[in-house]
Chains A and B, each alone.
Chain A
Amino acid sequence: MVKLGKDMRSVSIVGVGCTPFCDFEEHPETQGIGEGEAFGYAALEAIADAGLEPRDIQYFYHGAANPFMINDCITPNMQVADWFGVRGIGSVAHSEACCTGYVALQEAVMAVASGTYDVVLSGAVDLASTLPVEHAPSHIRQPFPLEVMLPSLDKIYDRAYGRPLDGAFGISFDNWINEYRMTYDLSDDQIDQALNGLSKVLRKAAVAHPLGYYDQDYDQVAAEKGLASADEFLASMFNPKVTMYLRVSGFETKCSGASALVVMPTEKALALGVPHTPIEVLGTGSSAFEAGLASNERQGTTTAIKEVYELTGVSPDEVDLFMCNDFFLASEIVAAEECGYIPRGEAWQYAIDGRTAYWGDKPINPHGGRCNFGHAHGASGLADVYEAVKQMRGEAGPTQIEKRPETALLRGFGGSQNVRCQILRTVS
């Protein structure tokens, strides 16, 4: 087991929970679910998964991407504790936009690694399909159209220069894949085929996954439109390019969801004989480059992945599963190479050949990723951790990858762009 540093101790994930990623308002079973209930359901699942009761939790973290707007609150941790039976224990709320879920894991691990606490829960929730109604109880919600969401994204960017000078928002979707295309002298069509290749396999994963947003793969969508195949649909006017490289299928599917995990010292987990194999968090590499800075996502990923490999001593060829925040779909290609998961210059071809599918030899996001599994903003990073843990236990069901992974790497980012690279390993 890796020791994180002087006076610190090894920490493992012992429980995970995740709600479906969907629009709760569209399903009769969940219409009216609020943030507290959603967080509570994910938290209680994680606690039960660890073989514990709420009374065993000593401290918890609450994550949300934008609680003021999307949860109609400033202190969300204060408002969820009672839902899962931990009234009175210490807690804190944090918000790092779409990087929230990865920071959630990092902070919980540090709380235990430091020796401050033994059993910590970290969860996140965003009901991003709809918006709360001010001054009304949490079950009353209203539509949350893109016309309302897009202007709010402006607040992600630096007020001094990044926002007023307008470049940051415009460039962030395409800048890294554009660099990649120039580096390897690829054509527009090659990039388009690669991204559509990803969309095909990721959508199939999300349809197969019991918690995923969609119930139709792209072949079925194409048939409904009278088209011959997924390839034809994805390249058609029904799926237009909305940036220089990204089609509609290359952007997030905004939805609602909550996810949570429980961590404890690895030695304690082994001594207790927790119900599932503990998954050790070997380490986190961190970086943050504001969006106005050149190639911010690439620079952040380069910095964070170097840090986590140095910290843990893990080499890229040991990684069996790569989880990647892909709400700009091209991230899967460029980040997979930057993290050493796929040889440089080849990921675009891997994507076309379907090798990154959950049934492929280099699986990425076997749950379908942000564009297909769904993106509940702050909760998505912990949903990635949930998926990685289920895969590592061999409990991922229909989307279980062929070789049960022993080492998983997560590359998370968000908030233009806060980056975390995290390595998980099955405790043997």
Chain B
Amino acid sequence: MLLKDMEPIVKKFYEGLEEGVYYARKCQECGAVEFPPHLACNTCGYHGTEWVEVSGHGKLLNFTIPGIQNDKPHLKEHGKYGYGTVELDEGCQYTFVVYGLSKKKAADVRAKIMAGETVGVHAKTIDRPQYKELVFELD
């Protein structure tokens, strides 16, 4: 393995956030999308992936509302939020902070998810020391 064969993946992901671009890696065998990006495919276990951009749009699969044990002041500064599993339109799932959720709205959003309705979310960023953090927000 030589230096020329290596590429910083995490760095490109965060640089993308600075520019409003959401970078992912697509499996060169099965086509599954790794988001956030990794070197290899965790869907089929193939070694090769390549850069793609994803929409930053998806749907909320489930969520919780923080209590005093798991509430973070720096997140609350940007509005009411929950923690949720997001499935991007490109098919990959990961957990994120999701703004627009609150104790007041929880029952309504949960009912929609349980009824099979799509609860759309879109990506945005918030500022953290030295980097931008990717979060989602209800459509």
Contact = CB atoms under 8 A, between A and B. Distances in A.
Interface of A: 17-20, 22, 24, 27, 29-34, 36-38, 40-42, 44-45, 47-48, 53-56, 82-88, 133, 135-140, 210-211
A137 B125 CA distance: 14
B130 to A, nearest CB: 5
B131 A140 contact: yes
B74 to A, nearest CB: 10
Given A54-B46, A85-B41, A19 B1 contact: yes
A82 B42 contact: yes
A37 B46 contact: no
B13 to A, nearest CB: 8
B39 A40 contact: yes
Contact of B8 (A22, A31, A82, A83): A31
Nearest to B36: A82
B131 A22 contact: no
Interface residues of B, number: 26
A309 B129 CA distance: 55
B45 to A, nearest CB: 3
A30 B10 contact: no
Nearest to A57: B45
Contacts of A86: 40, 42, 45
B46 A85 contact: yes
B38 A85 contact: yes
B3 interface: yes
Contacts of A84: 38-40, 47
A53 B1 contact: no
Interface string B1-37: 1111111111100100000000000000000001000
Contacts of B3: 20, 22, 27, 29-30
19 contacts: A19-B1, A20-B3, A24-B6, A29-B4, A29-B7, A32-B8, A40-B40, A41-B5, A44-B39, A53-B47, A82-B34, A82-B38, A83-B40, A84-B40, A84-B47, A85-B46, A135-B129, A136-B128, A137-B14
B75 to A, nearest CB: 13
A262 B42 CA distance: 19
A87 B5 CA distance: 23
Nearest to B11: A32
A85 B42 contact: yes
A94 to B, nearest CB: 23
B106 interface: no
Contacts of A31: 8, 11
B130 A85 contact: no
Given A37-B9, A54-B45, 20 more contacts: A17-B1, A27-B3, A29-B6, A30-B3, A30-B6, A31-B11, A36-B10, A37-B10, A38-B6, A40-B39, A45-B1, A53-B47, A54-B47, A82-B34, A82-B42, A83-B39, A85-B38, A86-B42, A136-B131, A137-B131
Most chain A CB within 10 A, of B2, B7, B39, is at: B39
A34 B38 CA distance: 12
A261 to B, nearest CB: 13
B44 interface: yes
A54 B34 CA distance: 15
